[in-house]
Amino acid sequence: MPVRGRVPHTGRLWSELAERFSGGIQNLVDFRWVFANNVGMALTPRQKEVLDFLVDYIGRHGYSPSFEEIAAGLKLSSLATVHKHITALEQKGYVRRRFNESRSIEVSPGYLEAERERLQARQSGQREVPLLGRIAAGSPVESVAMPESLNLGEFAQSEDIYALQVKGDSMIEDHICSGDYVLVQRVAEVRDGEIVVALVDGMETTLKRFYREPDGRIRLQPANAELAPIYVEPERLQIQGRVLAVVRKFRSQAMSHRAG
């Protein structure tokens, strides 16, 4: 018979997290990349599902699930797939396993604390916009997620609004500077001239003004006279949202300049 390794935890924390995830996988965060506090590497959506399944299961039973239970709960095709995801989570610091002991997966305390704080903020009525990462305002670069949020009240009334931090100066003539935060609304369609978050080739995101060219291409226009526009075919481009507002933290920028 398998040995059920009890996983140390505080009852209240696990109860809160179990309630948080009781809605099942359909209630998971749908971000492309997700970070937890004190954990330095990004998660894929499937890894996030596995991690949240572990939190829910351990919170309800007091011990971790078997690989078979994880596969059944998440409708994964094989135990090898489960092993791959657990190994990836372990390498990234989200979980750890005790050697040669069944049901011994432990979730990172940093991740549990981050989830507890998010749950408490939600229950207290705080309105926060998820800060999903930094967006290039120069050449397109891979978007990187961050474990932060911006408490912006009225902007957080819709789940379709999120925040990005700008990196680069390609939009400086539109008064969007490196280090600023832009509030973005997820939309399927945008109009010419709107500032958009554009995903190019499924890999790279950039912040630019959107224009349709007569030849059918899309022009991503920087607001910097020293930079050239980016031309892409429509099938290479996915619009992830349009900019609603810019937030600038002058104190933080001034401290950064003094530090430099």
Task: State residue 157's pLDDT score.
Answer: 61
How far apart are alpha carbons 146 and 55 in whole angstroms? 21
pLDDT band per the 50, 70, 90 thresholds, residue 195: very high
CATH of the structural domain 11-122, one choice from 1.10.10.10, 3.40.50.1100, 3.90.25.10, 1.10.490.10: 1.10.10.10
Which of 9-18, 66-75, 117-126 has the largest mean confidence?
A: 66-75
Q: 9 pLDDT exceeds 60? A: no
Secondary structure E strands in 55-150? 95-97, 105-107, 129-136, 148-150
| Residue owning tokens 């957080």 | 156
How far apart are alpha carbons 20 and 119 in whole angstroms? 7
Catalytic sites, residue numbers: 170, 208
Domain limits, the chain: 11-122, 127-259
Greatest extent of the chain over all pairs of C-alpha atoms, in Å: 70
Report pLDDT digits (tens) over 54-95: 988 988 888 899 999 999 999 988 999 999 999 989 988 889
Report pLDDT digits (tens) over 132-181: 666 767 666 555 445 566 555 555 566 788 889 999 999 999 999 998 99
Task: State residue 257's pLDDT score.
Answer: 47
How far apart are alpha carbons 95 and 87 in whole angstroms? 9
Q: Between β-strands 95-97 and 237-247, what pairing exists: parallel, antiparallel or unpaired?
A: unpaired
Please give the class, per CATH, of domain 127-259. mainly beta
